[in-house]
Amino acid sequence: MYFCRFFMLLKRFFKIFSLLFVLVVAGVLFLFPSVRNTIVIKSSDVLTIFDQAISIPFSVIESKSNDIKNLSKINDENISLKSKIYQIDINHSKLNRLESENKELKDLLNLKNSVSASKQVVGEIVDRNYSSWNEQFVIDKGSSDGISDSMFVLSSGGVIGVVDNLEKNSSRIKLLVGNDISSQHLTLKIEDKTQSIFALLIGFDDKTGEFRLLQIGDSVDIKKGSLVSTSGLGKYKTSDLPVGTVSSVKKASDQLGQEIRVKPKASLDVNRYVLLIGE
């Protein structure tokens, strides 16, 4: 009871004291301008310091935000430049491929115009396995396109293979550099000034890049540089298609004839197109 009265009196006292304090401060500020100005200046300084203190974190955040934006912009530019460089590389690769194919087709056209045969068909390589790269490949032409299994296959320069297996819409080509080319019993002709010499294709030397031919019978004088072409004998009837030139001649290991080395005229690493020739 007495405590409540005391609390009420104390509360009333603080209200009166607060009112008097405000009136006194207001009076001092009104009566003494210098004091008022000092308080205003000090308050302004305090507010300035407070404003600077508050603005520093925001300035740091804004600076970091700008750095992040610039970094993101640079990253986007790098991605764009990499994409453009990648596209340039692709276009350059396409250009090189098209130029190579264009040269290949021009060479085949010149070869086509330089030989006479009843059948001449250009085929495109559609399948060539790495494991049998030097043995065979498949082209997109078959019996329905006039292809027969007695046709030679040429790339720019000369003969590189023969038709080995025939389907309606495709053909398998056996290359002359294959390990089992001797099974084709392919007879070639070596042109000399005075005579034609016939020899059997027995293989290919991977180390020297030369065909190996065997001329059976009495040794004959075969000059280096003599032209080697198809003979037209046996299964493959078309003659005079260029194969290569004689690079060396030596006695055969069995002493029954001569082994003739021939440098191929054609590029054996065909890119895409070949010419098939037959009768």
Q: What is the pTM of this model?
A: 0.65
pLDDT (average), residues 9-30? 62
Per-residue confidence band for 25, with pLDDT thresholds at 50, 70 and 90: low
Which pLDDT belongs to residue 134?
84
The domain limits of the chain are 115-279
**Residue 239, token pair as written in the block:** 């003659």
Which pLDDT belongs to residue 54?
58
Evaluated on CA atoms 237, 238, 243, 249, the torsion sign reads positive
pLDDT (average), residues 82-101? 77
- CA–CA dist 226, 190 (Å, integer): 7
Per-residue confidence band for 201, with pLDDT thresholds at 50, 70 and 90: very high
* Averaged pLDDT of the chain: 80
Which pLDDT belongs to residue 185?
85
- Residue 92 burial (10 A CB sphere; 0-12, 13-18, 19+): exposed
Which pLDDT belongs to residue 49?
66
Radius of gyration of the chain measured on its C-alpha atoms: 48
pLDDT at 203 over 70: yes
Q: Count other Cβ atoms within 10 Å, centred on residue 172.
A: 17
Pick the CATH number of 115-279 from 3.40.30.10, 3.40.1160.10, 3.90.1280.20, 2.40.10.350: 2.40.10.350
For a pLDDT cut of 90, what percent of the chain falls above it? Answer: 34
- CA–CA dist 167, 50 (Å, integer): 92
Distance of CA 251 to the CA centre of its chain: 47
Which pLDDT belongs to residue 52?
60
pLDDT (average), residues 218-233? 89
pLDDT (average), residues 99-118? 74
3 state SS for the chain = CHHHHHHHHHHHHHHHHHHHHHHHHHHHHHHCHHHHHHHHHHHHHHHHHHHHHHHHHHHHHHHHHHHHHHHHHHHHHHHHHHHHHHHHHHHHHHHHHHHHHHHHHHHHHHHHHHCCCCEEEEEEEEECCHHHCCCEEEECCCHHHCCCCCCEEEECCEEEEEEEEECCCCEEEEECCCCCHHHHCCEEEEECCCCEEEEEEEEEECCCCEEEEEEECCCCCCCCCCEEEEECCCCCCCEEEEEEEEEEEEECCCCCEEEEEEEECCCCCCCCEEEEEEC
Residue 10's alpha-carbon distances to 19, 22, 56, in angstroms, are: 14, 18, 45
Q: What are phi and psi of 124, to 5 degrees?
A: -110, 135
**Residue 100, token pair as written in the block:** 């190579």
pLDDT (average), residues 171-189? 88
